[in-house]
Amino acid sequence: MAIFAANWKMHLGPSEVRQFAQRFSAKVPPRPGQRLVFFPSAVSVEAATEAFAARTDIEIGCQDVHWEPKGAFTGATSVALAASAGARCVLIGHSERRHVFGESDEDTRRKVRAVLDGGLDPFLCVGEKLEQREAGETERVVVRQLEAACDGLSPAEAGRLVIAYEPVWAIGTGRNATPDDAAAVHRTIRSVLTARGGESVPILYGGSVNQKNVQALMARPEIDGVLVGGASLDPDGWAEVVTFGQAV
């Protein structure tokens, strides 16, 4: 089952989410085997949950959580708080969390553990920076990030992951890995997951995905879906990405 996931980052407040849901739902009706995931800002998680409540093919996630269940962590969201607002999954290790906010591999491991323990599903992001890619370090970086986040997981727990390969140099830049490039990294990720009992884990691609390139990406059997930022902010445009991607 292909997954089409939208990361809205720091956009779309509650009223905008409700308007988005109405227009998007009119353009992309429910269909068997469809899995659509939206990651709104934390302040819009509950609004998105309510707006899409009638759609069993749609799930809402949280863009980030803290690994502690509660405490004096101003500005942070716990797994339990995310779940109470309607979130069913959580983005972990997005490149902006790693490289803008300075989160470490150990931070991602703690968050994966907390999300699994809290009954939600982790969407784990991995990917290399441009200088790492140019130095031929893509595989090393991606494997390191993946192994660190999966440390201590049982095969059953590893099977609950969704992985998103997002080359940092392609996020929001208009550049994207070619389908062949993405597929090669996905094969590496698959080999790591298979060794941990996660052979059926979906692996998504993210990085300047849009209406023009989604079909070429989804045509590759190694790519199980996409995680999209900018192109998911407009309901008409996101409906086209989903529709074009499903047509492969």
pLDDT score at 177: 83
The strand pairing partners of 126, in sequence order, are 165
How much of the chain, in percent, has pLDDT values that exceed 90?
91
pLDDT score at 135: 95
Report whether pLDDT(175) > 80: no
pLDDT score at 184: 96
d(CA 126, CA 142): 6
- Closest residue by Cα to residue 43 from 6, 75, 5: 75
The tokens of 241 are what? 């990405």
pLDDT score at 169: 85
Does residue 220 contact residue 203 with C-beta atoms inside 8 Å? no
pLDDT score at 218: 97
Kindly give the interhelix angle for 105-117 and 138-150, rounded to the nearest 10 degrees.
40
d(CA 153, CA 65): 19
- Model confidence band, residue 193 (pLDDT cutoffs 50, 70, 90): very high
Strand stretches in the chain, DSSP E: 3-7, 35-39, 58-62, 89-92, 121-126, 162-165, 203-205, 225-228
**Mean of the pLDDT values across residues 149-156?**
96
**Mean of the pLDDT values across residues 25-52?**
96
- Model confidence band, residue 164 (pLDDT cutoffs 50, 70, 90): very high
Does residue 199 contact residue 239 with C-beta atoms inside 8 Å? no
Report whether pLDDT(33) > 90: no
- Model confidence band, residue 176 (pLDDT cutoffs 50, 70, 90): confident
pLDDT score at 173: 74
Burial environment of residue 50 by CB neighbours within 10 A (0 to 12, 13 to 18, 19 or more): middle
The distance from CA 90 to its chain's CA centroid, rounded to whole angstroms, is 8
pLDDT tens-digit map of 235-247: 999 999 999 999 9
Average pLDDT value over all residues in the chain: 96
Which residues are identified as catalytic?
94, 166
d(CA 58, CA 35): 6
Report whether pLDDT(161) > 90: yes
Full DSSP string of 97-113: HHHTS---HHHHHHHHH
